[in-house]
Structure 1
Amino acid sequence: MNTFLSTTTQSNVALIYSGNGESRPLFESVLFEIEIEQSYSTEPFTDICPVSFFRNEHEVLFTIGCIFRINSIYDLTPTIWIINLSLVTYNDKDVAEKCFMDVQQIALATSPCNHRILVRFYESMALLQIEKNNYTIALELLSKVLQIALDYSFASNIIIHTYSNLGLVYRKILNFDRACENYELALNIITQSNALPKLHPLHSVIHNNLAYTKQLQNDYDEAL
């Protein structure tokens, strides 16, 4: 998903929004049924009913970037389909990687090429490769993100995130000089472009990561 996904625990509420098949054959009425292994899930979702204005909707909100596997499709009524889904987590790395590859094919097949989707694909794949300890591949993917972002004048916050992620990977492969270099590039953009508010959490995160890397280099004065 490239946006937040609003769902409900009540099927009768969901059916209000699914329609009754009156727009067939152009559109089908579908009820999505989502299964989640909560003990294994790494993707954030939450029951927002306690803070929702419409508490009777029993809303559960899924974060951006969630991936779902289709398990089955069957008819609830002659005019309404049910699609049973499972939430894919980064623990299910092979499935997630295949989904990301499908996204890449869609982006490359679009004319002109959708570079924003491509950047999202490369970034997501890079994070997945970091989880799998494939740091060389992660560096290649993040380098592609950076190149596209610079070539097509993407927003500064994307470039900041990319430099920060590059710093993380270089730190993991113990190349502390390159890690510090990328963290400092990210901080320079923040300072020069006002891309982020002064008290934005990412600003502190990058400072902390830079300080920690300096500490690993035994450069305690700089770390302070």
Structure 2
Amino acid sequence: MRTLHNFNALDEANITEYLSKSEVLVRIFNASDSDAVNKIAEYTNSQNSISNVDLKSLSTLQIQLEQLLDEHDIIYSRKNGDTGMNDQKEYRYKISMEQFGQILFAIQGSPEKSSNQKQHIFGKYYDDIFSESNFNFSESPEIIESYFAIKKSYDSSADTLQKIEQKVFYILYMHNVRPDLNYQQCIEELEHALRLFEPSKTTLTDARKMIQVRFKEFLNSELQVD
């Protein structure tokens, strides 16, 4: 379709002189159920140069997530430009599929990878992150509520704090391993650890510190967790 559109855009006469007389070869699949339809779309598109995120957006699980979150007035944006399943509904939050993958990756123990390895979340890490053993589907609305609550806590924190997304991922992780700490306490612990952590003579930004495994290990020792 993109090729036809580009060809037509070259000259307005193309649609009448060429395209109207052309034929397009298509394949038709007689699918028995919606799950089969999703699988056909996913595996057919995997033959083309399509990003892992776009490819996984066609999976049954991601579509079910969109439906579940819609029931909780949350837009789960599987593709750019998604505005929700119901144009008449007023949604409370909007989160992209990629953001949600980063959130799960952090909660499951890899906050240091959530940012700098996000391109692999819907690739080599996908089956582990979204597996039934690591991910409770029904908890998705609560997880997203926590994400936005933490962002709100950071926004109301001191203006001197550097407010970046990586810190939110770390707070999600910290609250998961130390549920006795509230969000504000997690923020304070994280900022304290960032001030103390100096792995080399070179001064590192908070963003650079947080992508290091050594920083997560240092933070764990401060939190007294394994």
Please indicate the TM-score interval, normalised by the length of the shorter structure: under 0.3
Give TM-score, length-normalised by structure 1. 0.27
Whose strand fraction is larger, Structure 1's or Structure 2's?
Answer: 1
The normalised TM-score by structure 2 is: 0.26
